[in-house]
A and B are shown apart, each in its own frame.
Chain A
Amino acid sequence: MIGRIVEKVGASGVFLFFVVVAYIILGIIDFEVVLNTLPVFGRLILRIFPVLILVFGIMFLTNFFFKAESIARILGKGSGLRGWVLAISGGIISSGPIYMWYPLLGDLKEKGMKDSLVAAFLYNRAIKIPLIPMMVYYFGWSFTITLSIYMVLFSIVNGIVVERFARGGKP
């Protein structure tokens, strides 16, 4: 029964269903809290919308210009240093919240992008050039530069370790 529902609506539908159920339960307990989330939700959607369009555009261009084989060549096994540079710089340049990039990365992964490069891309989403002045304001230049260098270095470590463990230690 549950298996058939999951098959019909997909795991993503089940996930959304559970979130809606959580909201309903919370609404029964304290309806005001649910009401208070509505403006937060609205602001979030408004902020995210341009990024959503950007991600859609990049996905469209990827599907238009690249076949799975070329993605696998650029970001797959044997992509070497170029793959790392692309993943790290892509992660730093990309804007918006991390979860907005899951659809694109999932798509690229299906086409052959390595787990290590997906992980490195996601890790470098932490370094946001437009926000550097704010970090400098709060913590100073030395902290900002040191932390940013460590983040880039650890994104490589993170990628290598994730690749090894995500495949159950298989090379």
Chain B
Amino acid sequence: MGERVNKSIIIALVLAAILALLPFGLPRFYVYLIALIVTFGLVSTSLNFVLGFGGIYQFHHAVFYGVGAYGAAVTIMKLGWSPWIGFVVGPLTAAFLSLVMGIICIRLSKLYFGMLQISLGSLVWVTVYRWYGLTGGDDGIHGVTVPELIESPTGSYYFTMIVAALSLFIMYRILHAPFGSILQGIRDNAIRSQALGVNVRRHQLIALVIAGFFAGVAGVLFVVIDNSVFPDMMFWTLSLEVTIMALLGGWFTFMGPMLGAAIIVLLRTFVSTVTDYWALVLSVVLVLVILFLPEGVLGKVFEIWHQRHPEKSAQGE
């Protein structure tokens, strides 16, 4: 087990070194694309925090991503406050919204939770879409000021990488602490957990707030990369895409959603240069995942690995 931990630390360090050196060799567009992948990967990982590990069907997760971005943009552009304050306000707003929506939805189970969550999320979207005075309506807000330090493409790239890595690390720690173990217990069997003395609803609500917060962090990262926000960021189709990322990558693995985000974002970028029918391609991907990879790409990889090394298969991560 110790060997495995050492190995994964080495892999992480090598990966970090490669990512740190990329801006020096790659054209600007690809640096932007990688930052985008990591941002979407963070949204998807935060969704998977409650979906794959919590068993909560949060169908409209992009709302918290959008609200995090808008929270930052509005604070900076409409209130004229420092961008750094905006970067904190965004995720906190998302976490607060997540708490409010969670309190309303949590009494419902599974699919009903998801349906009500979509409805409430769409309500937030409509509000943002219509409230020209505050949110700029369907135009959104453009040219959002960011601190000089991270204004350049390279600066925003490094900022994105560091914040995303930190967020992933915190979520990973939480999932491997008692809170996370019990969250997975609730996913597997809520009745059993309740009978053990776990306050199931409170536990799920806290998980939802954490997930909403980190989706909001991803929203801030998008503002840093793109300097703009627009209502599509919280439209339900984006939530669908984020969900597919998690399912495709492997929703019972921690890094699965990041892998799924890489596949989907790359696919979208290159498919869009060939055809307008991106949604069609996406739906085919979804069908293939459901039929052939019910546990996702990374889930499949682990499965094969465990079959080949049955003696080492202590725990899947």
Q: Say if A and B assemble together.
A: no
B contact set with A: CB distance below 8 Å: none
